[in-house]
Structure 1
Amino acid sequence: MLERSSSRPDDAGRPSHDEEMTAAPGVRTELAGFPPQSSSDDDTNRKNMALLIQLRWIAVVGQIATIGAVYLWLGIALPLVPMGAVIAALVALNIASLAWMWRHAEITNHELLVALMLDVAALTVQLYLSGGATNPFTSLFLLQVTLGAVLLDARSTWSLVALTCASFVWLTLAYRPLDLPQNPLSDTYSLTVVGMLVGFALNAVLLVVFVTRINRNLRERDAHLAALRQHAAEQDHIVRMGLLASGAAHELGTPLASLSVILSDWRRMPDLAADHELAEDLSEMETSLQRCKSIVTGILVSAGEARGEGSSPTTVTAFLTALVEEWRNARSARTLYFTNAFGEDVAIVSDIALKQVIFNVLDNGYEVSREWVELIAEREGDNLVLSISDRGPGFAPEMLAQLGKPYQSSKGRAGGGLGLFLVVNVVRKLGGTVTAENHRKRGATVRLVLPLSTLAIGGGFDA
């Protein structure tokens, strides 16, 4: 490794790439790629409608079993034809609901309310045909109300409460009384107690099963919305940093140009040119200045563009080889070990954003492990996999848990930790993933998985 002497500025005196990479060029910051909140609600409503359809199938089977037991075992006369017609109507409703769900992408609160009201109406008719309010299965009204309270908004829930209360009142005034035979098995009190027990057990079981599943759907929706809000906050953060970087790049252009002119004049002065040590220092200063100008130019060229003027056709091998050579030369570092195990070469687009992402991870590794950094390129299916390893202290457990979140840094600098945050966001825009893990003894590995389809010509951040 060729290190600079202590009399010259070295990499320790420059900002780390966490701070240098203030904005990922080429990242499109609009939120059009994220599903709107309504789509998340609709997905949850579809799941909940499917649960109501399942519950209706259970109601169909339960009603057939109950009617059969009461009619055949207890010998109680029931109006089988009208009750069978209600069951047939529930079956037809379920078939129609499934067909409707298949044809319509959106399910709203209104559709859920209608489904629950139809279930209440079917239960009311069955109770009317089998004793009205004296039937112990009137407790099943509470199941519908509870489901409504969990699934619907407040106004719809109260509408359902009003319907169930009105149905119960109507069942106390108008119903078809049961003709109970005179035998020990049909004692009115005993039948009522048994019916209340069965109704209570049925209510309890169905509430636990379906409310638990509905709550799971709602938690999944809340988690999805929280992720969308986090993504939106990250995108806003990138927009603000991009504006800051663009403004800083414009402001730095003039002083960098002035410094370039001054250095060029100094190198032409005979007295300075005769001093070989000073001439060497001037040459190194000019190299560093050119690197600063290159960074500023890269920001200005590619900021706000997915594949702009800073992009050019290349291949995976050529891109990585040039990238490694540029990184070594810019940092005077020869301890980067590159292994290309990608296999057959593939045509891609050389993109400044992707190059800065890889530079960022390499710089982070070099900062904690100057004696050894390794880059391995592999192919896994249709993905390019880049593994960057070092022999530093590794990541703290809390950093691994919060990988990709802004201001998660072990360097103790105010505003640090933006590098990996931008790496994760750029790679995610490319459809890839970023993972990190610590080695058992010492060091860590950051793994970038990038789909070749988005790196190919015609792919990109908007793919």
Structure 2
Amino acid sequence: MDARPASWLSPAGTALTGIVGSAVRLRVQIFLRWLAVIGQLGAVLLVGFGLEFELPIIELLFTISASVLLNAWLVLRYPVSHMLTGREAAGYLAYDLTQLGILLYLTGGLMNPFALLFLAPVTISASVMQARTTALLVGLASGWVTVLLFFHQPLPWSGPAPVLPGIYMMGIWAALLIALVFIPSYVWRVSREGRRMSAALAASQRIIEREQRLSALDGLAAAAAHKLGTPLGTIALVSRELLSNPTLDSGLREDVTLMVEQADRCRDILASLTAEDTKDPVISRLPLGALLEEAVLEIGPSDKLLHVSCMPPDPSAGPVPEVLRQPELIYGIGNLIANAADFAGKNVWVNGRYSPEEVVIEIADDGPGFQPDILARLGEPYNTTRARGGGDADDEGQTGMGLGYFIARTLLLRSGGRIEARNLAPDERVGASTPGGAFVTIHWPRARFDVTAD
């Protein structure tokens, strides 16, 4: 399957190496912008009222208030756990550069020592964004530095503003341009090497785990075939002897016939496990309905009623999609189903549907739904309403730690999926009911999910 081309504003490293760079949390940018606002406001008040320098106070406060309004809008518009796309992050960093450029224009241009702050946004971009995005931001910052060399208001001063020699101002301009190129380049190279090393270690770990799992399965299959062969043969022999007895009751004869058939089936299964010509690609494929059934089995015994369905396809939807059997995919879906069963009243609905463009799995329950504060931070680790720890913790130590949804989301995102979670409306129907509980959907592009699409 061909990967989609990387956008020039996507996170770092997605173009040629296939390595996905670090995502940027919105709340991190909001926090950094609040720090900038506090520093800018403190500097304006100190210089204007503490040192009693003449400042364009109204224009400066108006420019600073634009950042305050932007942060307030972002807080109201997005949840605190929102992850910025590459385009969004680049746009906000470009705004920060523009706001800083306006402040410096009003306060002396390059003669203002705070001109060094042009390095902050481009350095942040170099650590998490793609190289071309950082290059564009470096170009924007260099443009502002060049404009401020020639156009700016006088430097705030007690008395006449100082006039620096032209050659000295050219030196400041050149130093800033060199710093804007060198420092982000160095940070980007170091960050890129770190990402590549992490990706290489993760790939190596996955390969090692896969080989260990396959080796363990081979050993288990051989041991099962060897140890079960003798008792299975004995069962088959005794069953056939009973079946050949003419005085055997007709009711018992049916049961013995069933035992013979099942013994023969077990023999065939053991033979297929040890056969050298076993077609692994076929065994490793799961239709969408079988994937849902295996995911439901992951949760173990439950006192809730599980409704599993795979909607009949539209004539234009094509054949039922098949996916490679991936333990992490089955575990991720099963974890979401287990969470729904934990909070459901009596029922959990698991439905799969597909179209020529995408494959969707829907999980709903008739429980109380997500609490508003939990829903706003859904996907973050340690986000839970359950008591942490305790004697009821499961073998993996995850019960009550708020890691279940986080782990499932991480595994499903790595498989190419996209997760959405919300609460059902009171009159919203799921099947023939209106449960009004939690509702989670997982979307995959069909080309990414369906192995038959190749």
The two structures have a TM-score, normalised by structure 2, of: 0.39
The two structures have a TM-score, normalised by structure 1, of: 0.38
| Structure with the greater alpha carbon radius of gyration | 1
Q: Which structure dedicates a bigger proportion of its chain to helix?
A: 1
